[in-house]
Amino acid sequence: MKVIIQIPCLNEEATLALTLRDIPRAIQGVDEIETLVVDDGSTDRTIEVAEEHAVNHIVRLTKTHGLAQAFMAGLDACIKLGADIVVNTDADNQYHGADIPRLIEPIIKGDADMVIGCRPIDDIEHFSWGKKALQKMGSWVVSQLSDLEVSDVTSGFRAYSREAALQINVLSDFTYTLETVIQAGKKNLSLVCVRVGTNKMLRPSRLFNSTSSYVKRSASTIVRIYSMYEPLKVFSYAGAVLCAAGAAISVRYLYYLSRGQGQGHVQSLILAAVLLILGFQTIVTGLLADLTSANRRLIEDMLRRVRTLEIPRQSDDRRDSSNQ
C-alpha cells in the first residue's frame, strides 16, 4: 500500500516546513509514505524549502495556474507514481497532519473511495459568524446537488483511492473542492466525512480577496459543474420558469380581454409570447445538452483508461500480491 501526500504550493516558504514536519512517517497498513509538492509558479524559496526537507517529488509549474489546476497536476503525478491512496493537504499547516491515518482508514478498509476531513466549523475562532453561516449554507447546497452528506465541502484535507483519483477531472480554474464533491456524487463514488482538527491560522486565505467574490465564484462553479452533469434538469427548470411566467401573463391578458379591455394590454400578450418561446427554446437546449453529455461520459471513460495505462506495472503487482 503506497500513500502519496500532495501539497499544492504558491509562495509557501514560511509555512511549508511546518506542514511537512507534521506529516506522519509511518501508518499502520501502509508500506510506503511519500510526499509530493506542486509548485504553482512560486517566486520565493518554496522549492528550496521542499528540497531541504527531503520531499520525495516536486512538480513544477512554470507559471501560476491556480489552485484547481495545481491540484490536478499533483493528482496526475501521484497516479503515474503508483499511489494507491492520494492525500491532499494545504501548505499553510491548517490541518493536523496526525489525522492522516484516520483520513485514509475508510479507504484502506474498503468503505470509501473518497474521504473529506471535515473541520469543526463552529469551533474555529478566526471564522466570523457570517463565514460560518456561509460555510454551512454552501455545504448544504452542494450536499443537495451531489446527493451526498458533506458538512465541510470547502475542506482541502482529503484522501482519494486510486479508482477515485482516476475518475476525477477538475475543469475549474478556481478551486477543486466543490467540483470534486459534485463529481463524486454523479459518478457514484462512495464518500465519507471524518472529523479532523485544525491548527492556529498562520496567514489569511489567498484564494479570494473578499467573501462576496468567493461566493460569486463558488456559485458560478456550482452552476457550471451541475449543469455539466444534469443539463436536462437545469435547462428544464429554467425553461419551466419562463413558460410559467409567460402563461401567467397570458392568463392576465385573457382576463382583461374577457372584460373588453384587451386592446390596452397588447404589450402583455407580446411579452407572454416572447417568454413562452424562450422557455420552449431553453427546454430544447437542455435536451440537446443532455444528448451531448453522452460524449463527455465517453471521453471521461477514455481518459480513465489512458490514466490506468500510465500506472507503473510494479504498483499493480504489489497490489495483486497484497490481495492474495
pLDDT tens digit sequence for 197-228: 888 877 766 666 667 777 888 888 888 888 88
pLDDT of residue 198: 86
Single-letter amino acid, residue 30 = V
| Residue 23 burial class via C-beta count within 10 angstroms: exposed 0-12, middle 13-18, buried 19 and up | middle
Mean pLDDT over residues 43-50, rounded? 93
Residue entry with cell 453561516: 133
CA distance linking residue 134 with residue 130, whole number of Å? 6
pLDDT of residue 254: 85
Phi, psi angle pair for 271, to nearest 5°: -60, -40
What band does 158 get if pLDDT is binned at 50, 70 and 90? very high
| Residue 50 burial class via C-beta count within 10 angstroms: exposed 0-12, middle 13-18, buried 19 and up | buried
**How is residue 93 written as a grid cell?**
499547516
- Minimal CA–CA distance to 15: which of 295, 206, 211, 216? 206
CA distance linking residue 260 with residue 283, whole number of Å? 34
242 Rama class: left (phi>0) / alpha (psi -120 to 50) / beta: alpha
**How is residue 264 written as a grid cell?**
390596452
- Minimal CA–CA distance to 6: which of 65, 46, 51, 59? 59
What band does 321 get if pLDDT is binned at 50, 70 and 90? very low
Q: Where are any strands of DSSP class E within the chain?
A: 2-9, 32-40, 57-61, 85-88, 114-118, 158-161, 191-195
CA distance linking residue 89 with residue 7, whole number of Å? 6
Residue entry with cell 384587451: 262
Is residue 135 within 8 A of residue 121, CB to CB? The reply is: yes
CA distance linking residue 266 with residue 281, whole number of Å? 23
Q: What percent of the chain has pLDDT over 70?
A: 94
Residue entry with cell 460524449: 295
Mean pLDDT over residues 76-82, rounded? 94
Mean pLDDT over residues 181-194, rounded? 93
pLDDT, the chain, mean: 88
Pair type for strands 158-161 and 85-88: antiparallel
pTM of the model: 0.83
**pLDDT at 323 exceeding the cut of 80:** no
CA distance linking residue 118 with residue 103, whole number of Å? 10
Which of 143-147, 212-216, 239-243, 296-300 bottoms out in mean pLDDT, i.e. has the lowest? 212-216
pLDDT of residue 192: 94
**pLDDT at 92 exceeding the cut of 80:** yes
Residue entry with cell 469551533: 123
- What crossing angle do the helices spanning 177-186 and 129-146 adopt, rounded to 10°? 30
CA distance linking residue 226 with residue 45, whole number of Å? 39
